[in-house]
Structure 1
């Protein structure tokens, strides 16, 4: 759900027009639209690079892991999931809200990886590596916009 949808639904649930503070939030959302689109586009155009280089960085730090076992199916599955998280972050940036990431990507994340018998600390470290790679492609300002979304994933694994 986008920030704008949230504002409208909140006002509608109370049968009122958006308050001046909510209108300012809407205006700020519109002002940052080009930047959010640019960041999402950077993530989309570089997803494969982020995943490939992030994985290589992760394997340097954690060489003994299922994604680096020589089993191509496991490696492809892990990298598919990594790309999925990069995409969810792009959705959240476009929406101006953590909700897409929270609702789609972090709900039950620990349980899922525990059930797959993948060490949670490995997933968290992998996300740190993806974050580092993504941020290396962006300006400091754009990186500051992206970092909290990766941190949300990492913190949900704690």
Structure 2
């Protein structure tokens, strides 16, 4: 069976291969629809007065963050697989697949990192207390320590 899969000559697809290819296509469409529904992008009720958030306490989208994590991992793995196929075959379609999957994985990672919490806002300065210098400058901390000298 393995030798038959490794043959270079072209042959028509068997009926079981067509069946599995179509089942894979339908399952990917189903997973895409479930992903959109579980993240809260499509409301499951007819009236929503407040927007959907990724907070754990939000009853409108309780599976938003886990769904986002799983789909980001999936797109990262897809990008890696498409990259290895592009390196071995050199076909341009795989380069497009690498770009598309990498874009979707990076958007998911961005949402997990920056859109999953409101942050801790200081009442005095109005700045986020959890800010650091990476990858953005922390101007509020620089203002706070501007008058002090280093020892």
TM-score (norm 1): 0.26
Rg larger in 1 or in 2?
2
TM-score by length of 2: 0.27
Say which structure is richer in helix.
Answer: 1
With a CA cutoff of 8 Å and minimum separation of 6, indicate the structure with the bigger relative contact order: 1
